Amino acid sequence: MSSITVSGIVEKQGFGTGTWALVADGETYELKDAPKELCKSALKARVSGIVRNDVMTIAMIGPVLEVQSFESLS
């Protein structure tokens, strides 16, 4: 597992109840354990966390990023 910090736009994606994602530089990260303050469509944010290669999800929209901290850039 690797720790990263990425900046991008938060979006709700997927079917049904959906999942929250961070779209950054052509990559879409599925946000895991995202605090409710981060889960806002069109929020610009810098997110730090761990890419979880050991986690599978129903959405399968991209790498799973377990959120450790974030900063709003809006």
15 three-class SS: coil
Query: Exposure of 37 by Cβ count < 10 A (0-12 exposed, 13-18 middle, 19+ buried)?
Result: exposed
For the question of whether the overall pTM of this predicted structure is more than 0.85, the answer is yes
- In this predicted structure, the answer to whether residue 74 has a pLDDT above a threshold of 90 is no
pLDDT in tens, 19-69: 999 999 899 999 999 999 999 999 999 999 999 999 988 888 999 999 999
Mean pLDDT of 3-26: 92
| Domain assignments of the chain as residue spans, ordered by start | 2-72
Spatial separation of the C-alpha atoms in residues 40 and 27, rounded to whole Å: 18
Pick one of 2.40.50.140, 3.20.20.210, 3.40.50.1100, 1.20.140.10 as the CATH number of 2-72. 2.40.50.140
